[in-house]
Amino acid sequence: MAQLTLTTFLSLDGVMQAPGGRDEDRSDDFDYGGWLVPFADEDMGRFVDEVFDRADGFLLGRRTYEIFAAYWPQVTDPDDPIASRLNTLPKHVVSRTLERAEWNNSHLVEGDLAEVVARLKEGPGREIQVHGSARLAQGLLAHGLVDALNLLVFPVFLGKGRRLFPDGGTPTAFELTGHRATSAGAVIQTYRPAGPARFGTFAPGE
C-alpha cells in the first residue's frame, strides 16, 4: 500500500509560493519569486533526488503540473533521477480548468479527491508524491490525507505569499522522523501526522 507524501520548499515564515523563479507564480501581486535559488546546493539536490527515487506516481496541482510539463520533458538523460520518473510515472492532475493533460502518462483527476487519493494509496508501490501544489497541499492536509511531509526550510523571510499552513486550519501535531541541514543553511525536516494538537499550561515552579 502506497503512502501519500508531500515535499515542499518553505521560507522561514512558511511561504511556499514561487520558490524557483521570478515569474513562477505572481498571483496576488507576489513579486518575490525565486527566493530559493540563492540557497540551492548539492545537499539540497541529493535530498530531492532521494525523494524522487522513492516515487511510484505523482499527484499535482495545475500550476505545478504546467511548470513541470514545460521543463522536464526536455530533459532526456535516462540517468537523471528526477526526469526519468516525472517523464514516465503516472501523473494525476487536480484542476478545475485544464481540459486535457498531454504530458506522457498524465491523467486529470475526476470525482471526489479523497476517494481518488484512497484508490491511489491502495495501489502497489511506496509513495504517491505531491510536490509544491500549494492549494492542493492545503486541501490534502486539511482532510488528513497526507502520510508524511518533507519540509525544506530556507533561511529567508518574505513577509507575504501563499503559506503551506494558512490561518484557520485545524490544530494538528506532527512527529519528527528525520532531519538534516544543508551547507547553504536550509533545514530539511520530515514529519508524519500525530493526531490533534495538545495544549497545556506551565504551573508555577515547573
Given a cut of 90, is residue 1 above it in pLDDT? no
The answer to whether residue 203 sits within a structural domain is no
Q: Is residue 204 part of a domain?
A: no
Task: Report the number of distinct structural domains present in the chain.
Answer: 1
Q: What is the pLDDT of residues 130-157, one digit of tens each?
A: 999 999 999 999 999 999 999 999 999 9
What phi-psi label fits residue 120: left (phi over 0), alpha (psi between -120 and 50 degrees) or beta? alpha
Q: Is residue 202 part of a domain?
A: no
Residue 122 covered by a domain: yes
Kindly report the number of other CB atoms within 10 A of residue 81's CB atom.
17
Domain CATH number, residue 98? 3.40.430.10
**How many CA atoms does the CB half-sphere of 4 hold within 13 Å?**
22
Q: pLDDT value at position 193?
A: 97
What is the rounded CA–CA span in Å between residue 42 and residue 31?
27
Mean pLDDT computed over 167-193? 97
Indicate whether 66 belongs to any domain.
yes
Compute the mean pLDDT over every residue in the chain, rounded to the nearest whole number: 95
Q: Per-residue pLDDT tens for 84-94?
A: 999 999 999 99
The whole-number pLDDT of residue 206 equals 61
pLDDT over threshold 80, residue 11: yes
Q: What is the pTM assigned to this prediction?
A: 0.94
Output the DSSP codes for 179-204. EEE-TTS-EEEEEEEEEE-----PPT
| Structural domain includes residue 102 | yes
Whether 194 contacts 173, CB under 8 Å: yes
Q: Domain for residue 205, yes or no?
A: no
Contact between residue 81 and residue 53 where contact means Cβ atoms under 8 Å apart:
yes
Is residue 24 one of the residues assigned to a domain?
Answer: yes
pLDDT tens digits along 25-83: 999 999 999 999 999 999 999 999 999 999 999 999 999 999 999 999 999 998 999 99
Query: Which pLDDT does position 17 carry in this prediction?
Result: 97
The whole-number pLDDT of residue 124 equals 85
Containing structural domain, residue 55 = 3-196
Share of the chain above pLDDT 90, in %: 94
